[in-house]
Amino acid sequence: MKKYLLVAAAIVTLSVLSLVPLARQARPLQSSNLTPRRAWERMMSAPITDIDLSSNGRCVAVSTSQSFVVFDSAGLELWRWDFTKDNRFAVAQKLAVSPKCDWVAFAGGPEYRYLWIVHQHGSRIPIKTEGTPLSVAISHTGTSVAIGTGAGSLALYSSEGKLQWNVNAGGGQLPVQEISFAVDDHAIMVSSYAHAIVSATGKPLSLGGAWGVGSMRAARDFKTFVTWGEPPHGPGIGQLSVLDGNGNVLWSKVSTDPRAIISPAGDLVVAQTNDNQNPSEEDGFEPQRLNLSKALRLFSKTGTVVRTFSAHGSPVAFSSDGRSFVLSDASGFVLLDLNETPLWNISKSGYPGFVSTPDFRSVVLTQNNLVEWYSFPN
């Protein structure tokens, strides 16, 4: 294992040395693309509860307290279900749409513990959940749906509602609040509050790293992860950690705002970290001392600082080629390359919903009742 880590470190070192030239060679977006084109917008009849973009960007599904609607990339309504007309008890808090846009899965909440699988031209299947449903995801093949609950369970169903397996992914006490499939569907990542990888056959692998209230992101091959957390009890300083595929911590950093992203190749991490990496206990438990100096930084897989950015905000996601990333700040969303050159920006503050295609050529934002689809020309 040590031999492999030494080889990996050598490869990462070479990658870091060549990183800036590679970023300069990356094909930049043309200047005309700096102004995004709002392709369409729709006003929903009730406040939006969730949104999901299909894995191939063909459509977006939007749920409200009354219905869900599936729109294509041109803004045309493909189909919908006004579920409260058929079932006045139904609730849609979490939503997922299949790659072909022909079926949707949605889940309720604490007082409505059901998962619904709804086909455009077929059946509508209600499934009673074990605990409060908190997360829903559909596989990239479109053949199965996973659901995580507040009881710590993760279950996999076929698209026709047949149970494939049900495991305890929360360690018996942690809720399964965020889940996502690997690109090839070989595993499912449980990223908040529990941190775990569950294979396609239902075998869980618990991961360590940062503890507390936080989340986790994975490289494309699910062999490198960045986790982060903050103390759940109030004052305190959070941290982020980078893990290998076996859950071993490669390195950790102190951060009072520890949200992070990892590149698809797993060789880069963007996170806001504190300048002081050796805080005292008093620093963490005296609120007036929490505003310690910090900066947004680009790290290599080994924890080396590749670049310190002047921009401030929360990193949202890396592009599919690993050469740019989206940053969210008070003014909206901006796409930056690794040299901090802005490639595009959307000046929209207070928009809680953000989904995009992996290359960021299509972005969907939501706020209250409003859905907006932005397109960026190739």
pLDDT, block means (10 residues), the chain with 378 residues: 36 34 34 69 95 95 96 97 93 97 96 96 94 96 96 95 93 86 95 87 79 86 92 78 91 91 97 88 62 88 96 94 94 93 87 88 93 84
Taking residue 13's Cβ as centre, other Cβ atoms within 10 Å add up to 14
CA neighbours closer than 13 Å in the CB half-sphere of residue 376: 23
Instruction: Write down the pLDDT at residue 229.
Output: 87
Residue 276 lies in a domain: yes
Closest residue by Cα to residue 64 from 87, 79, 84: 84
Query: What pTM was computed for the model?
Result: 0.85
Please tell me the chain's helix, strand, coil percentages from 3-state DSSP, rounded to the nearest 5: 10, 50, 40
Who contacts 252 (Cβ-Cβ below 8 Å, separation ≥6)?
209, 210, 239, 240, 241, 242
Tokens of 176: 């399964």
Q: What are phi and psi of 3, to 5 degrees?
A: -60, -45
Residue 247 lies in a domain: yes
Residue with tokens 């951060």: 255
Rounded Cα–Cα distance for residues 191 and 211 (Å): 11
Who contacts 219 (Cβ-Cβ below 8 Å, separation ≥6)?
225, 262, 263, 264, 265, 266
What is the extent of the structural domain holding 264? 221-347
Residue 267 lies in a domain: yes
Continuous segment of H or E residues that includes residue 11: helix 2-17
Rounded Cα–Cα distance for residues 145 and 180 (Å): 10
Domain count for the chain: 1
Residue 76 lies in a domain: no
Residue 79 lies in a domain: no
Residue 323 lies in a domain: yes
CATH number for the domain including 276?
2.130.10.10
Taking residue 22's Cβ as centre, other Cβ atoms within 10 Å add up to 12
Residue 211 lies in a domain: no
- How far out from the chain centre does Cα 275 lie? 26
**Coil, helix or strand for 284?**
helix
Instruction: Write down the pLDDT at residue 94.
Output: 96
- The CA dihedral of 165, 169, 173, 177, to the nearest 10 degrees, is -100
Residue 238 lies in a domain: yes
